[in-house]
């Protein structure tokens, strides 16, 4: 909250720099913002290590095939469960 300094935004101090890329507060020049594609204010510079690096993802066809394989495996598991449930209920009578 101290970085944000809502009472006087002109005295804010940036904590980000090229030497400190993990700084949580970064100032941008107007020219730097309007030079962005579509002048978007959706800006982030901190890397979330819990997310995969999108620059190193496999090709889309490989990802799609992995999804298909996973879904087919899950579907087969559900078929086995449904068969087990069907055999359990086939001996029951309804009242």
Model pLDDT for residues 46-86, shown as the tens digit of each residue: 666 666 677 778 899 999 999 999 999 999 999 999 999 98
Q: What angle do CA 21, 56, 68 make, to 5 degrees?
A: 135
Q: What is the pTM of this model?
A: 0.39
Residue 12 carries which DSSP code? -
- How far, in Å, CA of 27 to CA of 21, rounded? 13
Placement of tokens 């999804």 in the chain = 67
- How far, in Å, CA of 27 to CA of 48, rounded? 20
- How far, in Å, CA of 37 to CA of 27, rounded? 18
Tens digit of each residue's pLDDT (9 = 90 or more) over 11-55: 777 777 888 877 777 777 788 878 877 776 666 666 666 666 777
């Amino acid at each position: 909250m101290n970085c944000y300094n809502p009472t006087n935004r002109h005295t804010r101090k940036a904590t980000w720099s090229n030497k400190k890329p993990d700084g949580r507060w970064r100032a941008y020049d107007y020219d730097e913002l309007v030079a962005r594609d579509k002048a978007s204010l959706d800006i982030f510079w901190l890397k979330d290590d819990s997310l995969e690096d999108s620059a190193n993802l496999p090709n889309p066809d490989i990802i799609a095939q992995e999804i298909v394989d996973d879904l087919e495996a899950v579907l087969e598991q559900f078929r086995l469960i449904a068969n087990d449930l069907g055999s359990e209920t086939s001996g029951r009578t309804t009242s």
